[in-house]
Amino acid sequence: MDELEFYDQSALLARLTSALKKRPREVIFLVGSPLSAPASAGLLGVPNVSGMIDIIRGEFADDHNLLNQLDILISTAKDKRYQEAFRFLQSRRGPAVANELVRSAVLAACKPEARYRGQSGDEQSCQLLEADDSLWAVLPGGSAIASLITHNPDIFGKSLLTTNFDPLLEVAIGKAGGRHYRTIMQGDGNVSITSAVGCHVIHLHGYWYGSNTLHTLRQLTQQRPQLKASLNRLIRDRIVVVIAYGGWDDIFTTTLLEMVADDADNTEILWTTRSASPSFPANIAAQLKLAADKAKVLVYGDIDCNVFLPELASWWLANSVGHPLTPPVPVSPVKFESSLITQMTSAPPKNILLEGDLEDRPPVIEFCLGREAELVLLEAGSAVVFITGIGGEGKSTIAAKAFGDRQKQVPDNTYVWRDCKEEGERFENQLAAIVESLTSGRVQGLDLAKQEIQIIVDILIPLLTDKSFLFVFDNIDHYVDLETLRLTSSVEHFVTAVLERAHTTKLIFTSRPSIQFTHPSATTIRLKGLTLSAAKALFVARGAVSSELEIEDAHEVTNGHAFWLDLLAIQVAKQLPGSSLRTLVDEIRRGTGELPNNMLNSIWSKLRDRERTVLRAMAETVRPEREKEIADYVSSEMNFQKVFKALRTLRSANLVVVKRLRGGEEVLELHPLVRTFLRKRFSHKERLSFIDGIMRVYNHFIGLHRNQLSDRPTFVVLQNWTQAAELSVAAGRLGQAYAILAESVGAFSSSAYPREFTRVARLLLSSGDFVEEHRSYKKLDTVFKTHIELLSYLGEFQEVDSLLSRFALTVPEKDARFILYCQLRAYTFWVRKSFAEAVDWAKRGHTLQVNSNVDTDDSIGNVLGLALRDGGNPDEAMEIFLEGSRLEEFTDPDEFNQDHGGPHYGNIGRCLHFMGELNGALICYQKSALIIEKDSKHEHILNQGYIRLWVGEVLISRKQTLLGLMFLEAARRKWEQVNPLEAGRIAALQEQQDLFTPELRSRQNRVERSFQDWIVGKVD
């Protein structure tokens, strides 16, 4: 390349030291693999191009034919041998194997004893591994760049571009005490989509976990217009130093060289090469020559990054002047009326305790005979006890006995009984409710509602360390895998965490299926029938006079089943004609069915009509009920006095389970075996009149309390809608069920109980063929839409995809319902952060809506805005969020319209933030913050955390560093118990800021107050 003029290292050093000191400009480094490669053979580091090719060859070592094909391909590929080797690998092993080999290569820079932690590619494991900077080898060049970034942030510390997949640059910045955040580009997108504190490290070809990596010529040269446009904005009018970079034929190189061809652009490129006489690919060489002729590119030869960069960093360390911290003067651009400020500051504290269900109490027990050995095991040292056995053997009775005894012995402990109702979705709800109770409402169930079980458990466990707890989780049948007999992941995670971290907590679980769980501190008690001696003691306790031979006979017929023996004893104790034990046992033997049916048929035949009527009504209820409520259900059949007498008889016969509420009030429900018997005994048609009687009461309640749906109702109130829907399903009235559930969608969407809604919606959708019958149910789409949105937030993506595939069959033509289908596809992709797919689906639906002018829900526009904003197109998103309004209506400090709502202001502010319009963003954030803080409907801790974080980011970008960091601390405190992953990221960031630690510590008690003051314009 004789045409190009080359300069030496001394010239480059002068250009980036004294010249830059005299006329400061922002510098962006573009670096490649030499900054990560081993300094010499045998040392830690990421293999270079030749090393990566050797790794790929190793993949085919056992197939000589393929290996020979690969070697021939490499030998003829010249300067494209790396790309061709990966193309060969991906076509024969797939992208997953390519990513696996990249991980192996990156882990070569990690200490050998820790490499296993990242080999699976699990995102959390890899995050934890790279967070420990003591495990990684950083070369001198990487350490030097980190020093430049950390100590001279205004010049070198804004952005850093790399084609490397490894974390070594981030590790180096952390070691140097600097801050950074990361954007990974594996497809088209906006490099400015991420905004945070510190140096923006942009990985142009992907990352070693959590994304695919780009290697082949087609991948590297694919059209990525959004990326190209955002790179153009990023590097315009800056100095770009290309070092330790061979010159990929990719989108960045193309963008860089096109920009310098623009005479109106002042970007300056300092391109370095390791060789003193380098050769470039022909297309790059030609463009470099054109740019060099315009003096926009200067080429420097014989530059060793691990020699030059340390020398450059040393010069700046010796010649830098520290920047004083900006004092915490809160500049609040919006001045609100005093009445609005009063509304915010006088809002009552949110100290709401989640009410438990009526069934979340232990049953009232009379006897617990013959279980002394089991009770001793329960009281032993095991931290976790599983009580299993068939229905009716007394699992709940034993747990309740131990629960009550422990309260008498150690009254200062905390006791929690939760009935998991033998249904899915309930365990996570119960843990969220416990967290809210233990924090006295500081952490609300709403903030935990859409969190994964791991997050909920991580929040709960620290709350259990100050005192002793006894938990009983009754009826966890739906949390046991019936093939492996192992606990499902949610319960197993909770149990494991308690065993490892909460050493003063005891857990008791009851379940019909056996449970396989091996741990030194876990015990399983499998209940079997009572012994003969225990059966005799039971008859004595019940006052049931019978001979030993009769009791032996009954014991044999029932196999010692505790519930059946107790029912027999109760019948005998009544001393009614024909109720001797021998007569009852003979009657059971004459039955033609199974023992439970024979036993209950015998009892049923002896009941009066009023007892039968009450039992049949109770068999259709979906929760424990008070006596008055049961009387209301059968009010068309008998008066309250007759119901009361019937219930007294049924209680004495032990056919109902009694639970006692706080204050002594009692609620009643049928024993599960009795409920099953009655539902099987009577046909669906015969059951309808009783379901209708219950529905009349529910409809009356719903009519009286419908207005509460807009005011964050309690779980107990909301359950009336889901339970009424369940009853409608049981009655076969699916249209009615959809209508009832549709009324509650808004309340459930903003509540702490999304799993309760999805539980019943799942039951409803599976109770008929909604694909064939969708035209019959007016409110199906309303329920379906909320179900999909909530399932997406809960991470149930497999179920979402299955349901949407079925929903697609209901929209063969592109009508208004097709727009809803597009909206739901877009929404679930947005939640998954698959922004390109979200934009594609949202645009399809939105275009159809606009072109057809169809009258339908316009929320698809909002989904499109969210997807565009977070997918790197804040400009387009802004137009959607503005909805035809002028931007000045939102960014004018003197205009404020509460009707826009906190989220609306926040969305526009975030777009402005991504676009670099920090003043406008801050104004929108301040307006959003006021609404969020004063309006209880939006006062969710998650939202409060985000607005503090976003404001803090803007203030730091505006050089109000200390105040910005204080607001980040306010966000961390909001999130520490509801969003520990995000809180942990802020904490990790703060740990890197040794420079700010003294100032932050002196204001630890004022961070939240400072944010409140900032909102209303007070000076700290």
Domain end (from 479, 500, 526): 526
Residue 110 pLDDT exceeds 80: yes
Closest CA to 581 of 616, 612, 546: 546
Identify the band that residue 535 occupies on the pLDDT scale cut at 50, 70 and 90: very high
Q: What is the pLDDT of residue 340?
A: 59
Q: How far apart are the first and last CA of the chain?
A: 62
Could you write out the DSSP letters of every residue in 364-391?
Answer: P-S--TT-HHHHHHHHSS-SEEEEE-ST
Angle at alpha carbon of residue 646, lines to 642 and 652, rounded to 5°: 150
Residue 349 pLDDT exceeds 70: no
Q: What is the pLDDT of residue 337?
A: 64
Q: What is the pLDDT of residue 488?
A: 86
Local structure of 462: helix, strand or coil: helix
Same domain, 507 and 577: no
Residue 454 pLDDT exceeds 50: yes
Phi first, then psi: what are they for 977, rounded to 5°?
-110, -5
Same domain, 446 and 479: yes
Residues β-bridged to residue 470: 415, 506
In a domain, 590, yes or no: yes
Q: Please list, residue by residue across 987-996, b when 16 or more beta carbons sit within 10 angstroms of its beta carbon and e when fewer do.
A: eebbebbeeb
Q: Please list, residue by residue across 736-753, b when 16 or more beta carbons sit within 10 angstroms of its beta carbon and e when fewer do.
A: bbbbbbbbbbebbeebbb
Residue 321 pLDDT exceeds 70: no
Q: What is the pLDDT of residue 219?
A: 42
- 662 backbone φψ class: left, alpha, beta (φ>0; ψ -120 to 50): beta
Same domain, 286 and 392: no
The β-bridge relationship of strands 522-526 and 656-660 is unpaired
Contacts of 116 (CB under 8 A, 6+ apart): none
Same domain, 161 and 240: yes
Give the lowest-confidence range in 342-346, 427-431, 493-497, 601-605: 342-346
Give the lowest-confidence range in 430-444, 479-493, 680-694, 730-744: 430-444
348 DSSP assignment? P
Residue 617 pLDDT exceeds 90: yes
Between CA 60 and CA 62 the distance in angstroms is 5
When the pLDDT of each residue in the chain is averaged and rounded to a whole number, the result is: 83
What pLDDT, in 10s, does the model give residues 14-45?
999 999 988 999 999 999 889 999 877 778 99
Between CA 938 and CA 941 the distance in angstroms is 9
Between CA 208 and CA 100 the distance in angstroms is 9
Domain end (from 500, 526, 552): 526
Residues β-bridged to residue 487: 480
- Burial class of residue 574 (count of CB atoms within 10 Å of its CB; 0-12, 13-18, 19+): middle
In a domain, 971, yes or no: yes
Identify the band that residue 352 occupies on the pLDDT scale cut at 50, 70 and 90: very low
pTM, whole model, 2 decimals?
0.59
Q: What is the pLDDT of residue 425?
A: 58
Cβ 820 vs Cβ 857: under 8 Å: yes
Residue 813 pLDDT exceeds 50: yes
For residue 43, what are its two tokens?
């040392």
Q: What is the pLDDT of residue 220?
A: 43
Order of all β-strands in the sheet with 469-474:
414-419, 469-474, 505-511, 384-388, 522-526
Same domain, 1001 and 968: yes
Between CA 400 and CA 422 the distance in angstroms is 17
Residue 711 pLDDT exceeds 80: no
Cβ 610 vs Cβ 575: under 8 Å: no
199 DSSP assignment? E
Residue 821 pLDDT exceeds 90: yes
Look at the block and give the residue holding tokens 């068309």: 636
Residue 785 pLDDT exceeds 90: yes
Identify the band that residue 937 occupies on the pLDDT scale cut at 50, 70 and 90: low
Identify the band that residue 215 occupies on the pLDDT scale cut at 50, 70 and 90: very low
Between CA 606 and CA 260 the distance in angstroms is 97
Task: Quote the crossing angle between the two packed helices 961-975 and 941-957, to the nearest 10°.
Answer: 160
In a domain, 987, yes or no: yes
Q: Amino acid letter at 103? A: R
Same domain, 263 and 152: yes
Task: Specify the higher pLDDT residue, 95 or 3.
Answer: 95
Between CA 810 and CA 854 the distance in angstroms is 18
Contacts of 981 (CB under 8 A, 6+ apart): 455
Cβ 274 vs Cβ 35: under 8 Å: no
Same domain, 502 and 573: no
Residue 806 pLDDT exceeds 90: yes
Residue 999 pLDDT exceeds 90: no
Q: What is the pLDDT of residue 517?
A: 93
Give the lowest-confidence range in 190-194, 219-223, 679-683, 884-888: 219-223
Between CA 169 and CA 36 the distance in angstroms is 8
Give the lowest-confidence range in 290-304, 606-620, 774-788: 290-304
Between CA 164 and CA 169 the distance in angstroms is 9
In a domain, 58, yes or no: no
What pLDDT, in 10s, does the model give residues 651-692?
988 899 888 887 788 899 998 889 989 999 999 899 999 999
Q: What is the pLDDT of residue 351?
A: 31
Q: What sign has the CA pseudo-torsion 89, 93, 98, 103?
A: negative
In a domain, 720, yes or no: yes
Identify the band that residue 208 occupies on the pLDDT scale cut at 50, 70 and 90: confident
Q: Amino acid letter at 253? A: T
Closest CA to 671 of 738, 599, 610: 599
What pLDDT, in 10s, does the model give residues 878-892?
988 998 888 888 989
Domain end (from 776, 804, 832): 804
Q: Amino acid letter at 476? A: I
Q: How many domains are there within the chain? A: 5
Between CA 473 and CA 457 the distance in angstroms is 15
In a domain, 868, yes or no: no
223 DSSP assignment? -
What pLDDT, in 10s, does the model give residues 715-754?
778 889 999 999 999 999 999 999 999 999 888 877 767 7
Q: What is the pLDDT of residue 525?
A: 93
Residue 387 pLDDT exceeds 90: yes
Q: What is the 3-state secondary structure (H, E, C) of 645-682?
A: HHHHHHHHCCCEEEEECCCCCEEEEECHHHHHHHHHHC
In a domain, 63, yes or no: no
The alpha carbon of 593 is separated from its chain's Cα centroid by a whole number of angstroms, namely: 49
Same domain, 379 and 474: yes
Q: What is the pLDDT of residue 945?
A: 84
420: domain CATH number? Answer: 3.40.50.300
Between CA 201 and CA 170 the distance in angstroms is 8
Cβ 551 vs Cβ 581: under 8 Å: yes
Give the lowest-confidence range in 47-61, 126-140, 509-523, 684-698: 126-140
Between CA 992 and CA 978 the distance in angstroms is 23
Task: Specify the higher pLDDT residue, 446 or 625.
Answer: 625
Phi first, then psi: what are they for 183, rounded to 5°?
-125, 135
| Maximum Cα–Cα distance across the chain | 119
Give Cα separations from 382 to 487, 514, 947, 1018 (angstroms). Answer: 18, 18, 45, 56
Local structure of 523: helix, strand or coil: strand
Between CA 58 and CA 50 the distance in angstroms is 12
136, 137, 138, 140: CA torsion to nearest 10: 160
Cβ 805 vs Cβ 828: under 8 Å: no
Residues β-bridged to residue 271: 242, 299
Same domain, 587 and 474: no
Give the lowest-confidence range in 333-342, 717-726, 989-998: 989-998
Long-range contacts for 988-996 (Cβ within 8 Å, ≥24 apart)?
988/131, 989/179, 989/196, 989/197, 989/198, 990/965, 992/174, 992/177, 992/178, 992/179, 992/198, 993/177, 993/179, 993/965, 994/177, 995/177, 995/325, 996/325, 996/961, 996/962, 996/965
What pLDDT, in 10s, does the model give residues 949-980?
889 888 877 777 778 888 888 888 887 765 66
Task: Specify the higher pLDDT residue, 177 or 573.
Answer: 573
Residue 328 pLDDT exceeds 90: no
Residue 2 pLDDT exceeds 60: no
For residue 964, what are its two tokens?
């910005």
Between CA 261 and CA 408 the distance in angstroms is 85
Range of the domain at 558: 532-606
Between CA 435 and CA 459 the distance in angstroms is 8
Q: What sign has the CA pseudo-torsion 395, 396, 401, 404?
A: positive
Q: What is the pLDDT of residue 1000?
A: 61
Q: What is the mean pLDDT of residues 905-916?
A: 86
Same domain, 484 and 545: no
Q: What is the pLDDT of residue 261?
A: 62
Could you write out the DSSP letters of every residue in 569-623?
Answer: HHHHHTT-TT--HHHHHHHHHH-SS-HHHHHHHHHHTTS-HHHHHHHHHHTT-SS
Between CA 206 and CA 221 the distance in angstroms is 14
Give Cα separations from 947 to 457, 514, 660, 928, 971 (angstroms). Answer: 25, 48, 44, 8, 8
Residues β-bridged to residue 243: 31
Q: What is the pLDDT of residue 584?
A: 87
Residue 253 pLDDT exceeds 90: no
What percent of the chain clears pLDDT 90, i.e. is strictly above it?
32
The H-assigned helical ranges of 213-324 are 217-221, 225-235, 251-260, 282-293, 305-319
Cβ 850 vs Cβ 822: under 8 Å: no
What percent of the chain clears pLDDT 70, i.e. is strictly above it?
83
Same domain, 512 and 579: no
What pLDDT, in 10s, does the model give residues 830-869?
888 888 899 999 999 999 988 887 766 668 888 999 998 8
Q: What is the mean pLDDT of residues 120-146?
A: 82
Q: What is the pLDDT of residue 495?
A: 93
754: domain CATH number? Answer: 1.25.40
Q: What is the mean pLDDT of residues 239-261?
A: 73
For residue 113, what are its two tokens?
């004893």
Residue 257 pLDDT exceeds 70: no
In a domain, 428, yes or no: yes
185: domain CATH number? Answer: 3.40.50.1220
Between CA 446 and CA 433 the distance in angstroms is 10
Same domain, 1014 and 953: yes
Q: Amino acid letter at 78? A: K
Task: Specify the higher pLDDT residue, 309 or 227.
Answer: 309
To which H or E segment does residue 419 belong? strand 414-419
Q: What is the pLDDT of residue 240?
A: 92
Could you write out the DSSP letters of every residue in 979-1012?
Answer: -HHHHHHHHHHHHT-GGGHHHHHHTGGGHHHHHH
Give the lowest-confidence range in 145-159, 248-262, 388-402, 461-475: 248-262
Cβ 161 vs Cβ 29: under 8 Å: yes
Q: What is the pLDDT of residue 719?
A: 86
Residue 225 pLDDT exceeds 70: no
